[in-house]
Structure 1
Amino acid sequence: MEAGGEAGGPRRRLVHLDLKGAPPRAPYLAEVLPLLRALGATGLLLEYEDAFPYAGPLGPLRAPHAYRYRPGRARGGRGAGPGPDVSLCPRSPGEVRAVLSQARAQGLEVVPLVQSFGHMEFVLKHKEFAHLREVKVFPNALNPHKEESRALVKAMIDQVMALHEDLKWFHIGCDEVYYLGEGEESKQWLQQQDNTPEKLCLSHIKAVASCVVSSYPTVTPIVWDDMLRGISEETLAESGVPQLVQPMIWDYAADLDVEGKVHLVEKYRRCGFSKVWFASAFKGATGVNQSLTLIGHHLKNHLQWLKVASSSPADILEGIALTGWQRYDHFSVLCELLPVAIPSLAVCLQALKNGGYSEKIKENVEKLLGMANLETETFMSTSLGTFPGSNILTLVTQVSFYLKSSVDELLERNRYVMGWFSPYHRKRKIIHPIIMHHFQPDAISLLSKWNAVVQDLQAAMEQVFHKCTVEEWMEENVHPSLQKLQEVVDDLDKAIKAQN
């Protein structure tokens, strides 16, 4: 079939793995890839960010939990100087290579994503690269006027390319380039006749894309489309950018404007873009600190994209990326963890593959996930499954639904705590001996119940994530309530001792 897949869905369906937060351990990814394939994925959009094992002068970009070149070997790089790092040799059986060869074995095409303009926080936060910021105080956007900026981007792209074989596409990011034109050099440039922020944006995109195409002639660059949307057809067409890149039109809303998107596709076609991509979301797009995924929202988003696909010329759509954001940006908190959102991803992939969603497709998803009943309109509270990481979903659901509410119930709505063990009493260790019998057993049993759940969750998460991810998630979602509860139990103990 042409651009449509089975029953009219996009033929290429890339699952976006956002590794700038909670990057899963390589063995977990190996478990998940066959499931993605079975659900209808045809490829992966890998946004490495600081999880890529950058080497040499780029060593500082590598997070402590970055994927290794060689399991069990200290990561080379910092001391390696600017020369080629031996661990880039094609036979190095590192974690990235392992994931890539498993993807290949599953028939999943890989498209790497390296930011090259906006969202450069993971690079520009480091003192070694801070002089390349567009605006001195903000680490998000790259200064497009400096030769060194392009050299940096080229070095990043080259290192990522070196670990990938047979690439057809390479995503160079370029979304949300905030404060573009507000740097000192930009202000001077914009004073010259006919220069505009739009032209500045297009010239940098063109420079990066040209660099990719000249070094890797068989690879087509992809860019996020938000910086292009508002640019006039004439400016776009004259820029030469449409001959170099394919735009990825993104919108994660449940009520996405189908007609507006169809017009946008037509506009891009008139400007000279040969193909476009769509980008939907299966998680990470409904709340900056969201811990559970509301499947219904994401399913609606995908059904709207199917309408856009069916109303667009059949030969213009290259494919769709199902984004799964793990942070809104490098500095924000974690949103839904990958295992938590696998049911949402399953529903969305199956809807795209089949050109819609029905009871029959729902049954197929349940079978593939090993789940008895898949709820799309509520956060599943009784969800048990057999897919990789399903125990994390079950425990995160328990914590998200009941931890804070049960602790608040005891501390803020129990009349004995409010009336006879207020902060005033606790500070002075005053307690009426009769009163403690009314709530001490409840407090102790609630604490031991939650400690057990949290221990199970921690063990399950450590199988999938690095310690720093587990720590961050616990500090954000568990510790505030658990500490409150622990402190009340401790204060009760102290008060009773003081009485005796």
Structure 2
Amino acid sequence: MLLQGSSSLNPESINSYYSENNETVRGIAKLFKKIENEKDSPVKITIDDASNINTEGYHLKIDNEKISITAKDNAGAMYGLITLSQLIQDAVDQNVNLPMVDIEDFPLLAYRAIHLDVKHHMETLDYYYELMDRLAAYKINGIIAEVEDKIKYVRQPKVASEDALTIEEWEKLSKYAKERNIEISPLVQGIGHASFVLKHDEYRELRDDPESDWAFNPLDPKTYEVQFDLYLDALEALPDGKYLHIGGDEVHTSGRQSEKSALELQLIWLDKVCKFAEEQGRIPIFWDDMPLKHANVYRPMFDRNISPEKVDSIWETNEHELVKFIDKFPKNCVYMRWNYQTPETYGNLKAMEWFSSHGFQVMGATAGQTRWSLMPQNEGNISNIRSFALSSIEKNLDGLLLTLWDDDSPHFELYIRGIIAFSEYTWSGDQRTKEEFKEAYRQRTFGSEFSGNEYAFIDRLEGPVAHWKNALLIEGKQRNQLRKLEDPLSEASIELPSKNAKGEWAKKHEKRLENARKQLAELDTVEQRIALLKKESNRNPYTLEMYEQVTKLVQFSYEGLLKLETYDLATGDTENAALEDIKKMNTDFDELREKLETVYAKARVLNKPANYILDQDHHTHNANQSLNFDWQFYPEMLLLEKIQTIE
């Protein structure tokens, strides 16, 4: 981008365009409310498929009095308009004319997809439509929708949740996304992760293990009757994508004494479902972890300390376990190598190269959310997203997927910074450092005057949230494990101070209390920054509301610990006041929860249907532990229940 000074163009006067490709451009321009095609408009848009501009790329030039956008295709024209809209927004905010620029821009990865995981909850339909507009602005062009039971299946209606979207509702959303250059493809879990099907008594006979709802029996023909019915409905619901993601990760099948190995069983299943996908005109995508595990070459991908020589030695010893079945690996399948923490390791690159060197299609998968509670951690995983994007570009791969797992179900709004980071590095490559990216994120999200590091409240919030997860539990107990306990109130919830042992509770929990004070000081700074932004910034108010509610929930838990300390140390007249303050926590919590749920519910459906069947929860997903929103507050509710017993 060449900066050439300021133009004479007032940004607020740019409300039309001119294009000889009017019918094509009209739909694109309408997205930005610039719907008038006027010959004297300063904005000229040209789509020329003979242009030497890259696919999805554009050339945007702003001179003193005119603006031109040239692209090879509709997507490029749209992205050019997106960039122009951002420049207009910045100029309006700063009360200046548009800058004179000459920008040639195009993506370095062709397929830039995010994961939409709806297995534990749905967002509102309005939010999904608004999300498509935002994803288009971020230049995301694909979605892998892990639909599970959130389609009103026609061929297997028992599988559908009562709150599922109809096939027609999904199809309408798919068309809306397609108009914005976003193709939505379904992910329907197959051989494993099948609890959404196998939890129902009607499908119990299809279980690989009769006592577990986790995996299908790959040797039962009825398995494929059910799965193919689900696939067909999902493809009708999402007709505009080119992929069918069939899952296939984290599966160990027994074959019910078939004498076939777990790898053979998975390849039998993989062959059948890949052939079916091909018959439907879709490219199947398969998580690649299980074949690598069965061949004992999996662990080096996640070990930064193991040497390349050691990795090569492990492969040399075990590669034959893959090679002897290589003819059974479908050639029409994309083998998706997921690695969320260590994508740069030699072991990870080695695994990807093994597939590609044997003629298989390979694509990577990074993550903006894994098992983090309440909000993404590790700076939204930006460093690992960047690393996998850059290696995918270097290896000339077709694309990359950003997984956004709903296992512990933070609000989707809190994934957005990670999504934008993914967009940045898959489109532009290594143009900005992590800190430069975060500064640009703050500028774009809240305004140019709020780009400085003093407004980096998201990073500052991560520490308090990470410590909050188990702050109210006995040491060693985990928030997501509470449902597995016979009596979580006594087994996991922190004990209360005793009137007969004054000061002992505070002494025992000295480090916990010290940490609570430290985190509250950090939260106070976060709260001040959010309040200032809510007052001064006119961008993305809902994002700020969401982070504000996260802050208040975390504050409540830490403040509760300090109130217990005050009670433990209180004597005489102050003891009754301290006790009253503790008892008031129930009322305070009810008010906090009501406000939080009101804000969350602007975009999220909080409660599951009354007749919803929770599955066996093999991976202890927080969001799978109650029909209502109780799972979000379980440790807090346990503590409040205990407090009511104090006399």
TM-score, structure 2 normalization = 0.60
Cα drift, residue 24 of structure 1:
0.8
* Structure 1: gaps of 5 or more residues: 70-93, 191-195, 328-333, 421-431, 496-500
Equivalent residue number for residue 387 of structure 1: 540
How far apart are the structure 2 equivalents of 1:318 and 1:258? 20
Find 2:411's aligned residue among 337, 340, 355: 337
| 2:366 counterpart letter in structure 1 | S
Cα drift, residue 395 of structure 1:
3.7
Q: Which moved more, 1:456-465 or 1:385-394?
A: 385-394
Equivalent residue number for residue 476 of structure 1: 631
Equivalent residue number for residue 63 of structure 1: 161
How far apart are the structure 2 equivalents of 1:353 and 1:404? 41
Cα drift, residue 101 of structure 1:
2.2
Cα drift, residue 8 of structure 1:
7.2
**Is residue 322 of structure 1 aligned with residue 322 of structure 2?**
no
| 1:454 counterpart letter in structure 2 | R
| 1:364 counterpart letter in structure 2 | A
Match runs of 1:296-307 below 5 Å: 296=379, 298-307=381-390
Equivalent residue number for residue 348 of structure 2: 261
Per-residue displacement from partner, 1:64-93 (whole Å, max 9, x unpaired)?
221235xxxxxxxxxxxxxxxxxxxxxxxx
Match runs of 1:133-148 below 5 Å: 133-148=207-222
Find 1:207's aligned residue among 272, 280, 285: 272
| 1:188 counterpart letter in structure 2 | S
Equivalent residue number for residue 124 of structure 2: 25
How far apart are the structure 1 equivalents of 2:150 and 2:444? 29
Structure 1 residues 120 and 246: CA distance shift in structure 2, 3 A: same
Structure 1 residues 482 and 410: CA distance shift in structure 2, 3 A: farther
Equivalent residue number for residue 352 of structure 1: 426
Structure 1 residues 104 and 339: CA distance shift in structure 2, 3 A: same
> Any conservation in 2 of the 1:407–1:485 contact (CA below 8 Å)?
no
Cα drift, residue 367 of structure 1:
3.7
Match runs of 1:12-411 below 5 Å: 12-56=111-155, 58-69=156-167, 94-178=168-252, 180=253, 182-184=254-256, 187-190=257-260, 196-214=261-279, 216=280, 218-230=281-293, 231=295, 232-241=321-330, 243-253=331-341, 255-273=342-360, 275-283=361-369, 285-287=370-372, 290-296=373-379, 298-312=381-395, 314=396, 317-327=397-407, 334-356=408-430, 357-358=432-433, 359-370=435-446, 372=450, 373-374=455-456, 377-379=459-461, 381=523, 382=526, 383=530, 386-387=539-540, 389-391=542-544, 393-411=546-564
Secondary structure (helix, strand or coil) at the match of 1:158 reads helix
How far apart are the structure 2 equivalents of 1:65 and 1:11? 35
Structure 1 residues 168 and 153: CA distance shift in structure 2, 3 A: same
How far apart are the structure 2 equivalents of 1:102 and 1:136? 42
Cα drift, residue 260 of structure 1:
2.2
How far apart are the structure 2 equivalents of 1:166 and 1:96? 11
RMSD: 3.0
How far apart are the structure 2 equivalents of 1:197 and 1:486? 46
Structure 1 residues 309 and 199: CA distance shift in structure 2, 3 A: same
Secondary structure (helix, strand or coil) at the match of 2:181 reads coil
Cα drift, residue 16 of structure 1:
0.3
Secondary structure (helix, strand or coil) at the match of 1:51 reads coil
> Any conservation in 2 of the 1:294–1:376 contact (CA below 8 Å)?
no
> Any conservation in 2 of the 1:48–1:114 contact (CA below 8 Å)?
yes
Secondary structure (helix, strand or coil) at the match of 2:421 reads helix
Structure 1 residues 53 and 477: CA distance shift in structure 2, 3 A: same
Secondary structure (helix, strand or coil) at the match of 2:166 reads coil
How far apart are the structure 1 equivalents of 2:108 and 2:151? 32
How far apart are the structure 1 equivalents of 2:541 and 2:422? 18
Identity of aligned residues (%): 19
Cα drift, residue 445 of structure 1:
6.5
How far apart are the structure 1 equivalents of 2:349 and 2:458? 27
Cα drift, residue 397 of structure 1:
2.1
How far apart are the structure 1 equivalents of 2:192 and 2:334? 18
Structure 1 residues 205 and 487: CA distance shift in structure 2, 3 A: closer
Equivalent residue number for residue 82 of structure 1: none
How far apart are the structure 2 equivalents of 1:146 and 1:403? 52
Find 1:462's aligned residue among 592, 601, 614: 601
Of structures 1 and 2, the larger Rg is shown by 2
Per-residue displacement from partner, 1:18-72 (whole Å, max 9, x unpaired)?
010122111111112211221231111100001111124x112111221235xxx
> Any conservation in 2 of the 1:43–1:110 contact (CA below 8 Å)?
yes
Cα drift, residue 344 of structure 1:
2.5
Secondary structure (helix, strand or coil) at the match of 1:29 reads helix
Q: Which moved more, 1:383-392 or 1:129-138?
A: 383-392
Cα drift, residue 483 of structure 1:
6.5
> Any conservation in 2 of the 1:293–1:379 contact (CA below 8 Å)?
no
> Any conservation in 1 of the 2:400–2:426 contact (CA below 8 Å)?
no
How far apart are the structure 2 equivalents of 1:209 and 1:479? 42
**Greater RCO (Cα-Cα under 8 Å, separation 6 or more):** 1
Structure 1 residues 364 and 33: CA distance shift in structure 2, 3 A: farther
Structure 1 residues 337 and 97: CA distance shift in structure 2, 3 A: same
How far apart are the structure 2 equivalents of 1:295 and 1:7? 29
**Is residue 11 of structure 1 aligned with residue 91 of structure 2?**
no
How far apart are the structure 2 equivalents of 1:278 and 1:397? 31
Equivalent residue number for residue 490 of structure 2: none
Secondary structure (helix, strand or coil) at the match of 1:227 reads helix
TM-score, structure 1 normalization = 0.77
Cα drift, residue 189 of structure 1:
3.7
Secondary structure (helix, strand or coil) at the match of 1:322 reads strand
> Any conservation in 2 of the 1:172–1:221 contact (CA below 8 Å)?
yes
Q: Which moved more, 1:125-134 or 1:400-409?
A: 400-409
Cα drift, residue 451 of structure 1:
3.7
Structure 1 residues 418 and 257: CA distance shift in structure 2, 3 A: same
How far apart are the structure 2 equivalents of 1:12 and 1:202? 27
| 1:325 counterpart letter in structure 2 | W
Structure 1 residues 310 and 261: CA distance shift in structure 2, 3 A: farther
How far apart are the structure 2 equivalents of 1:132 and 1:222? 23
How far apart are the structure 1 equivalents of 2:229 and 2:169? 21
How far apart are the structure 1 equivalents of 2:209 and 2:588? 50
**Number of matched residues?**
427
Structure 1 residues 53 and 370: CA distance shift in structure 2, 3 A: farther
How far apart are the structure 2 equivalents of 1:375 and 1:347? 17
Cα drift, residue 347 of structure 1:
2.6
Equivalent residue number for residue 88 of structure 1: none
Structure 1 residues 3 and 264: CA distance shift in structure 2, 3 A: farther
How far apart are the structure 1 equivalents of 2:228 and 2:576? 68
How far apart are the structure 1 equivalents of 2:444 and 2:177? 19
| 2:367 counterpart letter in structure 1 | A
Cα drift, residue 491 of structure 1:
6.8
Cα drift, residue 210 of structure 1:
0.6
* Structure 2: gaps of 5 or more residues: 1-52, 58-104, 296-320, 463-522, 609-622
